[in-house]
Amino acid sequence: MAGRDRSARDDRTGGATARRSASASATGPGRRGAGSRPTPDRRVPPATGGPVAGDGLVVGDVPVAARVAGGLLVLAALAGLAALFPTYLVVGGRALTLGGGGGGVLAGLVVPVTSAAVGAGLAAGRVPRLGLAYAGVAGALALGSLLIEVYRGSSSTLRPGIEVLAGERVLTSSVETGPGWWLAVTGLALTVLAGACAAAVWGRTVMEDRGRLDPARPALAGAAVLLGVLTVLCLALPAADVPDRLVDDPATGLEIVVEQQGPQALLERPGLALLGGLLLAGAVVLGSVLAPSLRPRLAAVGGFLAVAATVLGAGLTGLRDAVASDELEWTVPGAGLLAAGVGYAVLTLLAWRLRRGPAA
What DSSP line would sit under 163-184, residue for residue?
A: EEETTEEEETTSEEE-HHHHHH
Cβ atoms < 10 Å from Cβ of 357:
12
Higher pLDDT, 257 or 112: 112
Select, from the ranges 144-153, 271-280, 336-345, 349-358, the one with the highest average predicted confidence (pLDDT).
336-345
DSSP 63: P
pLDDT in the model for residue 194: 96
Average pLDDT over residues 175-184: 91
Rounded distance, CA 347 to CA 342, Å? 9
- Contact residues for 158 (Cβ-Cβ < 8 A; gap 6+): 270, 271
Rounded distance, CA 314 to CA 239, Å? 9
The angle, 0 to 180 degrees and rounded to 10, between the axes of the packed helices 297-324 and 332-353 is: 160
Higher pLDDT, 44 or 73: 73
Give burial (CB, 10 Å; 0-12/13-18/19+) of 266: buried
Rounded distance, CA 36 to CA 88, Å? 82
Q: Residue 325 belongs to what H/E stretch? A: none
Spell out where the chain has E strands. Answer: 58-59, 89-91, 94-96, 162-165, 168-171, 175-177, 207-208, 240-241, 245-248, 255-258, 329-330
- What is the average pLDDT score of the chain? 81
The model's confidence at residue 237, banded by pLDDT at 50, 70 and 90, is confident
The model's confidence at residue 262, banded by pLDDT at 50, 70 and 90, is low
Rounded distance, CA 138 to CA 148, Å? 16
Higher pLDDT, 230 or 26: 230
pLDDT in the model for residue 158: 63
The answer, yes or no, to whether the previous bond of 296 is cis (omega within 30 of 0) is yes
The model's pLDDT over 7-20, given as tens digits with 9 standing for 90+, comes to 444 444 444 444 44
Cα–Cα–Cα angle for 239, 114, 349, nearest 5°?
85
